[in-house]
Chains A and B, each alone.
Chain A
Amino acid sequence: MDVCEAIIKRRSVRSFSDRTVEKELLIRLIEAAIWAPSGSNIQPWHFVVVTDEEQRSKIKAFAPGLAGVPPALIVICTDMDLCERKGGRLGRDVLSLMDAAFAAQNINLLAVELGLGTCVVRSFNQSAIQGILKLPGYLVPQLLIAVGYPEKIPMAPGRRNIQDVISWERYG
């Protein structure tokens, strides 16, 4: 599948079958994620992959933005100490989240090729997820990605017209 096709076909999938996601595929998703760009090449990420039913259920309880209980979750965490040490305030306050998002999109796009659905979630309680996953204080969960074989693939929501969002040389 070429990149453009994956970009166009990607959806935020919120309905998954019960089929287990193979460990090998989850590893491939993380392999894609670590090739994302990161500010100053800090690569501040740490990925916690959750497939255990009880653990997923606990996360779900404190993640209002998570639809259902997907077969697998990838929790993208960033090392905030590393971000600040190597990236300063910019690293800590801005790049930490941007880098997580870059990694998330790599996961999203490879998932399309692998026949998987994903949904990126930020509506969760960070402290609760830190506690459930036993994360050290400097590792902050930034994004949850629900991963599974789609039960239903949503229609593409509309897109703003490209003419309205592009300017050349200067705004206007």
Chain B
Amino acid sequence: MTDILIDKKKLIDVFCFILASARGCLDEPPVYGPLRLLETYTMLIDALKEGDVPSVFLEEKERIESYMMMCMYNEKSFEEELNKSLARIVNAIAD
């Protein structure tokens, strides 16, 4: 397995984001939970500097960014997009 290089500052930002989100989600609308998880996904991709991460994960970031705010106004479509993301990743891993 090859090592991955991560931007230290961005990783620290992710740690802070996760903790703040965990505390926030106790009080916030339930749908914010999935939203914060998707945001963490995109932040981690942004934090990668180099390494052998399959391109399907990198490509999924853009798709996630295009639909993640849908959770605030169209939960049904948000769920559909999330299912599609999962399907793409599963297909890529299963191959």
Binding site for B on A (CB under 8 A): 14, 57, 60-65, 123-125, 128, 157-158
Contacts and interface: CB of A to CB of B under 8 A. Distances in A.
Given A61-B12, A63-B20, 17 more contacts: A60-B13, A61-B16, A62-B17, A64-B17, A64-B21, A64-B24, A64-B39, A65-B24, A123-B28, A123-B32, A124-B24, A125-B19, A125-B20, A128-B16, A128-B20, A157-B73, A158-B73
Nearest to B18: A64
Interface in B16-44: 16-17, 19-21, 23-24, 28, 32, 36, 39
**Tier of interface size on chain B:** 10 to 19
A83 B16 CA distance: 31
Label chain B's interface by main secondary structure: helix
A60 B16 CA distance: 9
A62 B16 contact: yes
15 contacts: A14-B69, A61-B12, A61-B13, A61-B17, A61-B20, A64-B39, A65-B24, A123-B24, A123-B32, A124-B20, A124-B24, A125-B20, A125-B23, A128-B20, A158-B73
B15 to A, nearest CB: 8
Contacts of A125: 19-20, 23-24
Contacts of A64: 17, 20-21, 24, 32, 36, 39
Contacts of B20: 61-64, 124-125, 128
Contacts of B21: 64
A125 B36 CA distance: 14
A63 B16 CA distance: 9
A6 to B, nearest CB: 22
A158 B73 CA distance: 9
Contacts of A158: 73
Nearest to A129: B20
Contacts of B12: 61
Contacts of B28: 123
A158 B21 CA distance: 27
A64 B38 CA distance: 11
Contacts of A157: 73
The listed residue with most B CB atoms (<10 A of its CB), out of A60, A123, A124, is A123
B28 to A, nearest CB: 6
A62 B23 CA distance: 10
Nearest to A123: B24
Interface string B58-95: 00000000000100010000000000000000000000
